[in-house]
Chains A and B, each alone.
Chain A
Amino acid sequence: MGAISFFTKRLIGIAIVVLSVSIFMFILLRSIPGDPARLLAGFDAPPEVVQQIRERYGLNDPLPLQLAKYLENLLTFNLGTSVRTDTPVLNEVMSRLPYTLYLSLASLAIAIAVGIPLGAYAALKKDSIMDYVATGLTSIGTAMPTFWLGLMLILFFAVQLKCLPAGGAESASSIILPALTLSLPVMAPITKTTRFTFLEVLREDFVKLAKAKGLRKKTVIFKHVLRNAMIPVLTVVGLQMGNLMRGAVITETVFAWPGVGRLVVDSIFARDYPMVQGAIFILALIYAFINLAVDSLYAAVDPRIRLGGGA
């Protein structure tokens, strides 16, 4: 199967995902107990406003027609206007998106920069102190409540030492604490997989041969072991998008970081349903496209992976 049909297939997949997300949200909004127009208007709104909203959102139309209109709007990226600020939802989400991407990329970079060398070192010096550190970090990293870690870092660095800001995004150093917080749950699986894969590759015959040939240790590790261990490690890095997104929503709330995750949470409490819907829609869309990009990357790195094969 060629590259073109691979992408067509995946794009159809993305379309199905987006469609199901939208229908899911549509059903959710319609299953709210009570009148959606009253919810959108706010509980203390006068009846004329509620009536106006009912007409504006076409809530008097039959349900299938409402669904069709709703999907048509999504297709043209017309995500509606915010109930709170009366600005287009899309603009607000797009202005917050760079912050979420910056935070996620910084965390991913820390996780990779620490996780891969640590996992590799732990495998090379199996049963050493560093190996126990790596294994411990893996277990604790997986079990760590992100919000608690964030608050503990604020307590230590912002309240006690007063050397880093506790929140916001005003200064350049504001990124440090949130990025550290978000990197831990991502670092744990990367370290674990690197260590495990390195141990596997170190047992391979070609590594034994390279050593027996008298190659220098450095050459064996970098040229033979590292290259062969990279595919599983890359896979795990690619699988971290879900982890990153979950962490981002919580980390942004802890550190008052002005990203999309915090926008979702704030909008929920402001009962700004169009904003909640729009932001979740955009996040799901980005998630789907990143997954497509990651899958294509494997194919580029490993010629054995045929595009379109298997999944």
Chain B
Amino acid sequence: MMQVRFDSLRKLGSINSTFLMIAKTRTGLIGISSVSSIVFLSIIIGVISPYNPIKGNLAEALRAPSLSHPFGTDELGRDLFTRTFYGARTSLLISFLGAGLGAGLGTILGLLAGYMGGAIDYILMRISDALLSIPSILIAIALVATLGPSMNNIVIAIAFGLIPAYMRLTRGIVVQVKNLEYVIAAKLLGLSSMRIMFRHVLPNISYLSISQFTLDLGGAILMASGLGFLGLGIQPPYPELGTMIGTAKMYVGLAPYLIFFPGIVLLILALGFNLLGNTIRDVMDPSSRVMMK
């Protein structure tokens, strides 16, 4: 079993070969191309679009899609194509930060719990049990509703829901790894626990969290946009895909394209991240490959 893990570790070590293995599968290719095309568009949108995402021209309000406005214009006369990709940029940023914070904190706490054991382990794992037993949407809503819908609070709200899963994942593998020769050797050399944990154990187990992180990005982007749709995400006039759909919902009969286009971009992003995450997990952990058959 450990042999398998080190194999996957080697694959992670060479980024090039990991990338090749992902691109070789059909789902991996679809995932990479859909995510990267939207990421690319949302990076260059400021260069390719002549329109301002926040200031509009009221005379141009609620225009149907046309050559000059490929996605149409919204109720304030802003170009929807421009807003959609600025919005995708915001959604991507929030979900990366939220999932990253959750993965990082969860991994460190799980590492501490697994390596230290004893009372620290017990307390940390009970906290993780408590967090797991509350649906993450309720935690997120409660956090954002009381602390206010700022970017920081939304990121924290998303991270909160993800922390316990990473704690369990990391603790589980650390408990196995800490009895391996290289850890015992490091201990005999008299290295400090901190140094062993972060310089020796962490690099050898981080592949687990990294592959889980890509799997969680799709969920994080849905959570961020869901909060936005409820009015608890990034506040207008700043564009975020969920927030845009939320403010456009009253125009569902009048201007359905206001809802259709941001939603399609959101769906493609979430789908792309899910396909990519599944492929990365399969490539890095061959034992899960049966699921593909």
Contact of B259 with A152 in the complex, beta carbons under 8 Å: yes
A155 at interface by CB-CB < 8 Å = yes
Contact of B230 with A249 in the complex, beta carbons under 8 Å: yes
Minimal beta-carbon separation of A178 from chain B (angstroms): 14
List chain A residues, Cβ under 8 A from B245: 145, 147-148, 151
Contact of B218 with A268 in the complex, beta carbons under 8 Å: no
Chain B 276-293 per-residue mask, 1 if CB under 8 angstroms from chain A, else 0: 000000000000000101
Given A17-B134, A21-B134, A268-B232: A145 and B253 interface contact (C-beta under 8 Å)? no
Q: Which of A24-32, A50-58, A295-303 contacts B (4 or more CB under 8 A)?
A: A24-32
A265 at interface by CB-CB < 8 Å = yes
Rounded to whole angstroms, the CA-CA distance of A29 and B256 in the bound complex is 39
Contact of B293 with A199 in the complex, beta carbons under 8 Å: yes
List chain A residues, Cβ under 8 A from B43: none
Rounded to whole angstroms, the CA-CA distance of A20 and B130 in the bound complex is 7
Rounded to whole angstroms, the CA-CA distance of A41 and B137 in the bound complex is 27
Contact of B143 with A142 in the complex, beta carbons under 8 Å: no
Contact of A143 with B138 in the complex, beta carbons under 8 Å: no
Minimal beta-carbon separation of B91 from chain A (angstroms): 10
Contact of B218 with A142 in the complex, beta carbons under 8 Å: yes
A21: nearest residue on chain B (CB-CB)?
Answer: B134
B226 at interface by CB-CB < 8 Å = yes
Contact of B260 with A152 in the complex, beta carbons under 8 Å: yes
Contact of A280 with B141 in the complex, beta carbons under 8 Å: yes
Contact of B147 with A32 in the complex, beta carbons under 8 Å: yes
List chain A residues, Cβ under 8 A from B139: 24
Contact of A284 with B135 in the complex, beta carbons under 8 Å: yes
- The tally of residues in A whose CB lies under 8 Å from a CB in B reads 49
List chain A residues, Cβ under 8 A from B242: 145, 147
Interface of B is mostly: helix
- From B143, B218, B259, A28 is in contact (CB under 8 Å) with B143
Give the contacts of A273-304 with B (CB-CB under 8 A). 273, 276, 280, 283-284, 287-288, 291
B259: nearest residue on chain A (CB-CB)?
Answer: A151
B94 at interface by CB-CB < 8 Å = no
List chain A residues, Cβ under 8 A from B166: none
Given A151-B263, A155-B253: A284 and B270 interface contact (C-beta under 8 Å)? no
Minimal beta-carbon separation of A89 from chain B (angstroms): 15
B159 at interface by CB-CB < 8 Å = no
Contact of A29 with B146 in the complex, beta carbons under 8 Å: yes
- From A147, A159, A241, A269, B229 is in contact (CB under 8 Å) with A147
Contact of A17 with B259 in the complex, beta carbons under 8 Å: no
Chain B 80-123 per-residue mask, 1 if CB under 8 angstroms from chain A, else 0: 00000000000000000000000000000000000000000000
B269: nearest residue on chain A (CB-CB)?
Answer: A143
Rounded to whole angstroms, the CA-CA distance of A140 and B126 in the bound complex is 35
Minimal beta-carbon separation of B199 from chain A (angstroms): 33
* A-B pairs with beta carbons under 8 Å apart, 10 shown: A143-B267, A145-B266, A145-B270, A155-B259, A166-B252, A199-B293, A241-B135, A246-B135, A254-B249, A273-B146
Residues of B within 8 A of A (CB): 126, 129-130, 133-139, 141-143, 145-148, 218, 222, 225-226, 229-232, 242, 245-246, 249, 252-253, 256, 259-260, 263, 266-267, 270-271, 273-275, 291, 293
Given A246-B135, A246-B136, A283-B135: A155 and B145 interface contact (C-beta under 8 Å)? no
A254: nearest residue on chain B (CB-CB)?
Answer: B249
Minimal beta-carbon separation of A54 from chain B (angstroms): 18
Minimal beta-carbon separation of B25 from chain A (angstroms): 14
Contact of B141 with A269 in the complex, beta carbons under 8 Å: no
Rounded to whole angstroms, the CA-CA distance of A100 and B246 in the bound complex is 21
Contact of A288 with B133 in the complex, beta carbons under 8 Å: yes
Minimal beta-carbon separation of A238 from chain B (angstroms): 14
Contact of B271 with A147 in the complex, beta carbons under 8 Å: no
List chain A residues, Cβ under 8 A from B143: 28
Contact of A249 with B133 in the complex, beta carbons under 8 Å: no
Minimal beta-carbon separation of B144 from chain A (angstroms): 9
Given A143-B267, A145-B263, A246-B136: A28 and B142 interface contact (C-beta under 8 Å)? yes
Contact of A148 with B135 in the complex, beta carbons under 8 Å: no
Rounded to whole angstroms, the CA-CA distance of A24 and B145 in the bound complex is 14
Most central of B129, B133, B232, B291 by chain A CB within 10 Å: B133
Give the contacts of A133-171 with B (CB-CB under 8 A). 139-140, 142-148, 151-152, 154-155, 159, 166
Contact of B137 with A246 in the complex, beta carbons under 8 Å: yes
Contact of A151 with B141 in the complex, beta carbons under 8 Å: no
Minimal beta-carbon separation of A226 from chain B (angstroms): 21
List chain A residues, Cβ under 8 A from B147: 28, 31-33
Contact of A265 with B136 in the complex, beta carbons under 8 Å: no
Contact of A139 with B249 in the complex, beta carbons under 8 Å: no
A104 at interface by CB-CB < 8 Å = no
A16 at interface by CB-CB < 8 Å = yes
Give the contacts of A204-260 with B (CB-CB under 8 A). 241-242, 245-246, 249-250, 253-254
B232: nearest residue on chain A (CB-CB)?
Answer: A268
B30: nearest residue on chain A (CB-CB)?
Answer: A139
List chain B residues, Cβ under 8 A from A28: 142-143, 146-147
List chain A residues, Cβ under 8 A from B141: 249, 264-265, 268, 280
Most central of B143, B230, B242 by chain A CB within 10 Å: B230
Minimal beta-carbon separation of A31 from chain B (angstroms): 7
Contact of B136 with A280 in the complex, beta carbons under 8 Å: no
Contact of A246 with B226 in the complex, beta carbons under 8 Å: yes
Q: A28-B143, A31-B146, A155-B256 are in contact. List 20 more A-B contacts (CB 8 A).
A: A17-B129, A28-B142, A32-B147, A139-B275, A142-B270, A143-B218, A145-B229, A145-B270, A148-B263, A152-B260, A154-B252, A245-B138, A246-B226, A249-B137, A253-B229, A265-B141, A265-B230, A265-B231, A284-B135, A287-B133
